[in-house]
Amino acid sequence: MSAYNIVSIAGSDPSGGAGIQADLKAFSAHGTFGMTVVTALTAQSTRGVTGVHTIPAEFVTHQMDTLFTDATVHAVKIGMLGTPEVTAAVTEAIDHHRLPNVVVDPVMVAKSGDRLLASSAVEALRGKLLPRADLVTPNLPEAADLLEEPEATSLEEMRAQAVRLLELGPRHVLLKGGHLDGEESVDVLVSRNADPVEFGAPRVHTLNTHGTGCTLSSAIAALLPQRPDMATAVADAKEYLTKAIRRAGDIDAGSGQGPVHHFHAWW
């Protein structure tokens, strides 16, 4: 068959390290054909976000209907949505077009600390989108925001929060532990019909981590049609991201938090 078609529904990052630009690179790195639905335009660099322009929900729907009535879609990565209206529009499209392998990266705050999801949109994300997700991939601050409770400070608290996130409706939750201390970074995968799995990796000491969440969720989306189960897709995506972080110093894209090296296996 031809390459799998993977769609990113997310915001644009002109610096190329996050958002739809990072998603397309991760899709390509895994041998799939990337497509996009743009939900927001940002003015940002490796040093931070200086402006956000959200796309009207009606035009986001127009993009999705035009694309999904033509192309066969094998997986969808959902990133920055920005507003409750856009979140609702994407939710309706998932139902209407019966989109498979939906991976939700709940983009709320950029690495620089800039908020990318309006507080009013969190409830729409929690109540409408998560129950339709095959996988949700929050970091610890995002998990705390979704659960309306303090951020986890230990692996034990992480495990408990991952289970509570699963109760919000997604089929799988990958709670990322990069914000914890320690020489090893541990992510926790919990599922409705499988035992929990924990993925540990040596912590890479680098400032170049711009777009790591986007890249991981996109790699998982690209791998889901190609792997036998969620745990295998996550494991392979994490191995890819770890190598991309280790090689991040090969890219000089600015003076702040640089991007990971999406094409480390080829360049």
What pLDDT sits at residue 72? 97
Q: What is the pLDDT of residues 193-207, one digit of tens each?
A: 999 999 988 888 888
What would the pLDDT profile of 78-132 be if each residue is shown by its tens digit? Answer: 999 989 999 999 999 999 999 999 999 998 765 555 555 666 778 889 999 999 9
Select from 137, 136, 99 the least CA-distant residue to 5.
99
* Spatial distance between the Cα atoms of 104 and 127, rounded to a whole number of angstroms: 13
Q: Which DSSP helix (H) or strand (E) runs through 240?
A: helix 230-246
Rounded to an integer, what distance in angstroms lies between the CA atom of residue 113 and that of residue 163?
26
- The reported pTM is 0.95
d(CA 91, CA 123): 13
Q: Quote the CA–CA distance of 258 and 254 in Å, as a whole number.
A: 6
3-class secondary structure, 248: helix
Residue located via tokens 């309306």: 148
Residue ranges and CATH numbers for the domains of the chain are 5-134+209-250 (3.40.1190.20)
Is residue 199 within 8 A of residue 235, CB to CB? The reply is yes
Task: Point out the residues that are catalytic.
Answer: 176, 209, 211-214
Sequential pLDDT tens for the chain (267 residues): 679 999 999 999 999 999 999 999 999 999 999 999 999 999 999 998 999 999 999 999 999 999 999 999 999 999 999 899 999 999 999 999 999 999 999 987 655 555 556 667 788 899 999 999 999 999 999 999 999 999 999 999 999 999 999 999 999 999 999 878 777 889 999 999 999 999 988 888 888 999 999 999 999 999 999 999 999 999 999 999 999 999 999 999 999 999 999 999 999
Distance CA(61)–CA(67), nearest Å, equals: 10
